[in-house]
Amino acid sequence: MLHSALLNVMIKAARKAARSLKRDFGEIENLQVSLKGPGNFVSAADRRAEEILREELLRARPGYGFIGEESGRHEGADKTHTWIVDPLDGTSNFLHGIPHFAISIGLERESAIVAGVVYNPITDELFIAERGKGCFLNDRRLRVAARVRLADAIVACGLPHHGRGDLEQFRKEIATVQAQVAGLRRFGAAALDLGFIAAGRFDIYWERNLLPWDMAAGLLLVREAGGFVTDLDGGDAMFTKGHIAAGNETLHRDLLRVLKDAAKSS
Ligand code: IPD
Ligand code: CA
Ligand code: CA
């Protein structure tokens, strides 16, 4: 399949960083048995992957700005374009040897995401999207699922843990959603959760306490697959509010309503 020059740059960078992550992931199993665990090793793997991405992306587009989870914000001469990058989304999975993690690269142009790549190096699943040009998984065009009944829906979410997020609020939400849907999943990589929505594997997804690099590429995947993505108030402030809901038009609307009901429950 022929891609635009822009997507080629993003795909090349993702594949190069993926080779490094994949090599490091191969070491993880050996480290599980040590008392110290693979923590420091994983942080180094994460940083290495981001360095590769920054180098590749800025070599191809020297003026663009860059925001990476590990290295923070780097201003570019071109104030209209910014790469938004998570070199390793799903760190806990990686750390535990669970092969569900991804590299996520979004390109923001004047406050809108215009291109996104999410790549799982282990399964070799490459999700790509460019604004107005559709969403593809390994060159197959994606559409969000057509299901319209909550009772049939597989719902993905994020779990707040270990000092992060409002546990009480989440318990109310999960209890209210759980009672109405076919199944709940928590896979642990937001970028892939959004890719799975685009692919129609998950029907709806919501999560709080996210950061822009968790969502930037993924939200475009969903929109280009015909889905809806908003913050939990139905607006477009996902990056500033840090929460997100995604799905087809009907289920997305229903999910927002159910979460509002949850807030009223005791
Ligand atoms: C995390 C993952 C996870 C989500 C967390 C994120 P990281 O990103 O996307 O699914 O629940 O909130 O921080 O730390 O693995 O890059
Ligand atoms: Ca992340
Ligand atoms: Ca990360």
The 10s digit of each residue's pLDDT in 185-214 is 999 999 999 999 999 999 999 999 999 999
pLDDT of residue 33: 67
Q: Whose CA is nearest to atom 12 of ligand 1?
A: 210
Mean pLDDT, the chain cut into blocks of 10 residues (266 residues total): 94 98 89 73 92 98 97 95 98 94 98 98 98 97 98 96 83 96 98 99 98 98 98 98 98 98 87
| Domains of the chain with CATH codes | 5-141 (3.30.540.10), 150-264 (3.40.190.80)
Ligand closest to CA 95: 1
Ligand closest to CA 94: 1
* Encoded amino acid at 202, one letter: F
Q: Is the Cβ atom of 156 under 6 angstroms away from ligand 1?
A: no
CA atoms within 13 Å, Cβ hemisphere of 108 = 21
- Sheet containing 72-74, strands listed edge to edge, beginning at the edge strand earlier in sequence: 72-74, 65-68, 81-89, 102-109, 112-120, 125-130, 135-137, 140-141
Atom of ligand 1 nearest to the CA of 89: 16
Atom of ligand 1 nearest to the CA of 186: 10
CA of 234 to the centre of ligand 2 (A): 22
